Amino acid sequence: MSLLPSKSRLAHIVFESDDRASKTFDLSVLLLILGSLAVVILDYEPSLNKKYHYEFYVLEWIFTGLFTLEYLLRIWLSKRKLGYFFSFYGMVDLLAIIPTYLSLFLINTQFLVVIRALRLLRVVRIFKLSRYLREAETLKTALRNSRTKIQLFVGTVLTIVLITGTLMFVIEGPESGYTSIGVSMYWAIVTLTTVGYGDITPITPLGKFLSSVIMLLGYAIIAVPTGIVSSELTAVQGTIQSSGKKVCPTCKSRHLDDDANYCKYCGEAL
Amino acid sequence: MSLLPSKSRLAHIVFESDDRASKTFDLSVLLLILGSLAVVILDYEPSLNKKYHYEFYVLEWIFTGLFTLEYLLRIWLSKRKLGYFFSFYGMVDLLAIIPTYLSLFLINTQFLVVIRALRLLRVVRIFKLSRYLREAETLKTALRNSRTKIQLFVGTVLTIVLITGTLMFVIEGPESGYTSIGVSMYWAIVTLTTVGYGDITPITPLGKFLSSVIMLLGYAIIAVPTGIVSSELTAVQGTIQSSGKKVCPTCKSRHLDDDANYCKYCGEAL
Amino acid sequence: MSLLPSKSRLAHIVFESDDRASKTFDLSVLLLILGSLAVVILDYEPSLNKKYHYEFYVLEWIFTGLFTLEYLLRIWLSKRKLGYFFSFYGMVDLLAIIPTYLSLFLINTQFLVVIRALRLLRVVRIFKLSRYLREAETLKTALRNSRTKIQLFVGTVLTIVLITGTLMFVIEGPESGYTSIGVSMYWAIVTLTTVGYGDITPITPLGKFLSSVIMLLGYAIIAVPTGIVSSELTAVQGTIQSSGKKVCPTCKSRHLDDDANYCKYCGEAL
Amino acid sequence: MSLLPSKSRLAHIVFESDDRASKTFDLSVLLLILGSLAVVILDYEPSLNKKYHYEFYVLEWIFTGLFTLEYLLRIWLSKRKLGYFFSFYGMVDLLAIIPTYLSLFLINTQFLVVIRALRLLRVVRIFKLSRYLREAETLKTALRNSRTKIQLFVGTVLTIVLITGTLMFVIEGPESGYTSIGVSMYWAIVTLTTVGYGDITPITPLGKFLSSVIMLLGYAIIAVPTGIVSSELTAVQGTIQSSGKKVCPTCKSRHLDDDANYCKYCGEAL
């Protein structure tokens, strides 16, 4: 049927996302991934599993069939088939369909299909030319700039956790639930991050006093990473503003004119 | 009686809030809404309900009567009655009185009157010309600017929740309370947001270790949205300051004179 | 004895804090307040109360005696005795000694002496000329500037609490511990602020889902007040820096010379 | 054997870290410390202790032997042996090996070897010329600048804790678990820092209401330290940027040329 798109047109639809057909394709894949994730989550819900197990089973095979088709299509359309196969996305696409086939031979491997969540990463491509990548770029630059500060911070936190964990293990002991240094360190992390499950809590007055100090410390030092990221984000945006010039988010060229809509160095939309 | 205000004067009092009478009207409505909300909350308190149910019942009908009067007044005074009826505020005003009448026929619908809380939105109008709207504008601009960053962030968080939820479901299993992937995801959200109820907690060493990692992760990434909003607010205010010029919060015109009290483009008070 | 300081010298020691004697006096009062607070806290500890009740009793009367002496001294030295008596600090000084005398007649009023904590406010005076007041000024300016934003924020939070509290009361009901709208609102605040006691937790799937949404919301909106305060503090400091001029923290005069140590308008130390 | 490095070469390897051999030495020490900490933590795990106690015992003595060798080497190579012995790092190095020898005579002192975590501080030296120290410098400057603000903040928090703790002790009383003012203050800290264990929770309506107020307060004031650190970090970085000049992180000299890689005043790498 000449109504079928040509192979090069199909490749455009599958690999690009700059016109209607290709955007529709990407959006359909996005919805299929979300739908398939919803089915797995609901299928593991004991009450729903009893009632609708058969429906979920059928749906899951429909999703897997469609993803298998898409996978074969991608291999067929790819110019460097082995390159795609061994690429990160190629492996993710394969891992996203294998668990369902595995579940024919093995019991209880169905939960592995949550790997499909990783496929969502690719879908960001739909918004390729949009503001998403630019913002992600700003975030990434700010996080990259604050990397060493955050490493120092994590090191400090882990040292505090080790020392307070050991102290609490000695002070409270196994009777209060602090059965080992490892468990005490778990408690210290639960406390320092202000999660505070309450599955292990200090009982002795000295333990309560030390806990209070750790909590106030945790309360104070939570300010540090937030401050780091805030100031980096302010700095990254400040660079853009204080230079009085636009900065290209893709190639980082500065000195663009204020009224430019595209970077004059790399042509990316600003 | 000629002492009664004319219809146009009444419309001014009800719809505007720029002189004494109209401000008093708005303030009375505000207090009636708060009083009526208090009565509903207290009426649902079992101990108070026993003692004062009759008093609450009478008060509720007084409030409903006054709100009904106000609603009819608004319809009567409105130039485009149907336009008001189908507007957002028109529907909220109607929904705020219906539950009490419904409760004559149906049992236990009384809690629906908390819809009245939405009526508070209108009361912001009292402060129309004041600094509130301007500040809300700054907040809204900052939040709008950081919208895409926050969407990216929520997407990342939900992916982390899905993957760690599934991992914990596999590691801990139903014996520890992780009865389904859904429940595990609920636990992951409780942990990542540092709420930490403690209704479900990891028991196995591996589960405790993975939880610790998630907590530290949550502790680190809470820095990101805070950093985003901080830097945006700084940027929005920086724009105002660095330009050396006032910026109109309503029409966003810059280049206003420093000593201007009103925007010269849209006339809004600065 | 001529060795006793004159009345005017005594007044200087008690009311000022700019030389050695007056600073020593203020520091002694500070230590007495802290010591007396420690005694009250320890006295209410059941295990310590049994053993050392007599010692605590004696110490408490010594502290009260010294504070009474100080109070009488302040009245005697004060030029406007009634003015001092009815001033805020005069009332606090009086309330700080009354509970001990009251405890002669009434049982269990001893805890009221924690009012003494308020006396610490006065002690900030010791650091009057130091950097403390200046920093407090910066903090206060930033908080004052962000007042309206924070009011808007608290209003939004309370509306969310009312609506989610009512929803959870309807969804979960008394069987899950949500016994009234008031208790549900208490739960909503516990959840939204990420405290998460776990005394009341959702049990139904729908309740867990709604809770998850509220937690993510709380996680997101905690960013807002932090962002507000951060950006205001940045702005306040930015004003100081960007003007290239010092700003007097007391009278807010700008255009001070860079090498000035005292404000040339109000004479305050910078 | 002439293949053995000379004493001066050995001293270089042990005390410096600017060439391959010395960096390898530092890295080995780092790995030995981490390994030894892991062995102690695992040894205190009851289930592992039963199975592998002998293996852990042997490993612990191997680590202690190596650290003892290193300690003796440092003393032998040190020019001022007494100076090293009484220095902070000298004491830490000694305290890091003593507990194992002590455990020959005393029971259950093995946990003291977590003191070895302090030895990690020295290892930062490996990254001496790298970006770590510079970033740590920025963090330290920001924290030092915000010291007084944070002191004021901690003072305010402790006063709130004392007063709300006492109030809750009076309102709730020992029946709800608030057995003393001290325990109530512990509860207030658990609540204000949003840790929320849930081991002590308010039961009376008045207690729940006061708790809600404290939680919202805690939620609001957590913004303050974060804001302080954020704005200080922004200011420290702003100084660097707004001056249009690099600032040396070591000697704080400004007015460095933009393309400088080393500070022209102190020679430190930028």
- DSSP letters, D20-85, are HHHHHHHHHHHHHHHHHHHHHHHHTSHHHHHHHHHHHHHHHHHHHHHHHHHHHHHHHH-SSHHHHH
Show residues of chain D in contact with B219, CB under 8 Å.
Answer: none
Show residues of chain A in contact with C198, CB under 8 Å.
Answer: 197-198
D269 DSSP β-pair partners:
D262
Does pLDDT of A256 surpass 50? no
Show residues of chain C in contact with B197, CB under 8 Å.
Answer: 196-198, 201
Distance from CA of C1 to the nearest CA of D (A): 41
Whether C58 contacts C100, CB under 8 Å: no
Q: What is the pLDDT of residue B145?
A: 72
- Mean pLDDT across A97-108: 80
In this predicted model, what pLDDT tens digit does every residue of C199-243 receive, in sequence order? 999 999 899 999 998 888 877 676 677 777 777 777 766 554 444
A256 DSSP β-pair partners:
A246
DSSP 3-state of D186? helix
Whether C232 contacts C215, CB under 8 Å: no
Q: Which amino acid is at A61?
A: W
- Mean pLDDT across B85-93: 85
DSSP 3-state of C262? strand
Show residues of chain C in contact with A45, CB under 8 Å.
Answer: 205
**Across the interface, do B231 and A233 touch by the CB < 8 Å criterion?**
yes
DSSP 3-state of D248? coil
Q: What is the pLDDT of residue D122?
A: 64
**Across the interface, do B205 and D230 touch by the CB < 8 Å criterion?**
no
Q: Which residues of A200-225 are buried (b: 16+ CB within 10 A; e: fewer)?
A: bbbeebebbbbbbebbbebbbbbbbb
Whether A198 contacts B198, CB under 8 Å: yes
Mean pLDDT across chain C: 77
Whether D199 contacts B198, CB under 8 Å: no
Label residue C46 by pLDDT band (50, 70, 90).
Answer: confident
- Mean pLDDT across A160-185: 90
Kindly list the partner chains of chain B, i.e. chains with 3 or more CB atom pairs below 8 Å: A, C, D
**Across the interface, do A152 and D136 touch by the CB < 8 Å criterion?**
yes
Label residue A237 by pLDDT band (50, 70, 90).
Answer: low
What is C7-127's CATH topology? Four Helix Bundle (Hemerythrin (Met), subunit A) (1.20.120)
Does pLDDT of A247 surpass 80? no
- Mean pLDDT across A54-76: 91
What is the domain partition of chain A in residue ranges?
7-127, 133-242
**Across the interface, do D181 and C138 touch by the CB < 8 Å criterion?**
no
- Mean pLDDT across A126-143: 61
Q: What is the pLDDT of residue B2?
A: 56
Query: Chain D residue closest to C180 (CA)?
Result: D205
Distance from CA of C137 to the nearest CA of D (A): 10
Ranges of chain D with pLDDT below 70 = 1-3, 107-108, 121-136, 139, 143, 148-149, 220, 222-223, 234, 236-270
Portion of chain B with pLDDT greater than 90, in percent: 15
CB count within 10 Å of CB C179 equals: 17
ipTM > 0.90 for the complex:
no
Q: Which amino acid is at C189?
A: I
Q: Which residues of C77-108 are buried (b: 16+ CB within 10 A; e: fewer)?
A: bbeeeeebeeeeebebbeebbebbeebeeeee
Q: What is the pLDDT of residue A207?
A: 93
Q: Which residues of B231-259 are buried (b: 16+ CB within 10 A; e: fewer)?
A: bbbbbbbbeeeeeeebbbbbeebeebeee
Which among D152, D195, D197 has CB closest to C136?
A: D152
Whether B136 contacts C152, CB under 8 Å: yes
Indicate the Cα dihedral angle A22, A26, A27, A31, nearest 10°.
150
Please state the three-class secondary structure of chain B as a single string: CCCCCCHHHHHHHHHCCCCHHHHHHHHHHHHHHHHHHHHHHHHCCHHHHHHHHHHHHHHHHHHHHHHHHHHHHHHHHCCCHHHHHHCHHHHHHHHCCHHHHHCCCCCCCHHHHHHHHHHHHHHHHHHCCCHHHHHHHHHHHHHHHCHHHHHHHHHHHHHHHHHHHHHHHHHHCHHHCCCCHHHHHHHHHHHHCCCCCCCCCCCCHHHHHHHHHHHHHHHHHCHHHHHHHHHHHHHHHHHHHHCCCECCCCCCCCCECCCCCECCCCCCEC
**Best of A197, A245, A258 to mutate (most B CBs within 10 Å, chain B):** A197
DSSP 3-state of D110? helix
Q: What is the pLDDT of residue A183?
A: 93
**Across the interface, do B198 and D197 touch by the CB < 8 Å criterion?**
yes
Label residue C132 by pLDDT band (50, 70, 90).
Answer: low
Q: Which of B191-205, C133-147, D202-216 has the lowest mean pLDDT?
A: C133-147
Q: Which CATH number fits domain D133-242: 1.25.40.10, 1.10.287.70, 2.40.50.140, 3.50.50.60?
A: 1.10.287.70
The torsion region of residue A196 among left (phi > 0), alpha (psi -120 to 50) and beta comes to: left
Q: Check: pTM over 0.90? Answer yes or no.
A: no
Question: What's the burial of C270, exposed, middle or buried (CB within 10 Å: 0-12/13-18/19+)?
Answer: middle
Q: What is the pLDDT of residue D147?
A: 72
Q: Which amino acid is at D89?
A: Y
Does pLDDT of B243 surpass 50? no
Q: Which amino acid is at C92?
A: V
Gap between the Cα atoms of D214 and C150, Å rounded? 16
Which among B169, B196, B226 has CB closest to A195?
A: B196
- Mean pLDDT across C157-179: 88
Query: Chain D residue closest to A229 (CA)?
Result: D230
Q: What is the pLDDT of residue C53?
A: 86
Q: How far apart are the first and last CA of chain C?
A: 42
Tokens of A175: 């009777």
**Across the interface, do A225 and B211 touch by the CB < 8 Å criterion?**
no
DSSP 3-state of C256? strand
Q: What is the pLDDT of residue C260?
A: 52
In this predicted model, what pLDDT tens digit does every residue of A179-230 receive, in sequence order? 998 999 999 999 988 888 999 999 998 999 999 988 888 776 766 777 777 7
In this predicted model, what pLDDT tens digit does every residue of C62-87 receive, in sequence order? 999 999 999 999 899 888 888 888 88
- Mean pLDDT across C163-177: 89
Q: What is the pLDDT of residue A68?
A: 92
> Within D78-146, where are the H helices?
81-86, 88-95, 98-102, 120-123, 131-145
Query: Chain B residue closest to D222 (CA)?
Result: B226
Distance from CA of D121 to the nearest CA of B (A): 21
Does pLDDT of A7 surpass 70? yes
Question: What's the burial of A73, exposed, middle or buried (CB within 10 Å: 0-12/13-18/19+)?
Answer: middle
Kindly report each contact of residues A100-105 with a partner whose C-beta sits within 8 Å and lies 24 or more positions away, as own/partner: A100/A60, A100/A61, A100/A64, A101/A64
In 3D space, the residue among A229, A89, C225, C215 whose CA is nearest the CA of residue B158 turns out to be: C215
Q: Name the residue with higher pLDDT: D270 or B153.
A: B153
**Across the interface, do C148 and B142 touch by the CB < 8 Å criterion?**
no
Distance from CA of A175 to the nearest CA of C (A): 20
Label residue C144 by pLDDT band (50, 70, 90).
Answer: confident
DSSP C120: H
Label residue B241 by pLDDT band (50, 70, 90).
Answer: very low
Please state the three-class secondary structure of chain A as a single string: CCCCCCHHHHHHHHHCCCCHHHHHHHHHHHHHHHHHHHHHHHHCCHHHHHHHHHHHHHHHHHHHHHHHHHHHHHHHHCCCHHHHHHCHHHHHHHHCCHHHHHCCCCCCCHHHHHHHHHHHHHHHHHHCCCHHHHHHHHHHHHHHHCHHHHHHHHHHHHHHHHHHHHHHHHHHCHHHCCCCHHHHHHHHHHHHCCCCCCCCCCCCHHHHHHHHHHHHHHHHHCHHHHHHHHHHHHHHHHHHHHCCCECCCCCCCCCECCCCCECCCCCCEC
Show residues of chain B in contact with D45, CB under 8 Å.
Answer: 205
Portion of chain A with pLDDT greater than 90, in percent: 15
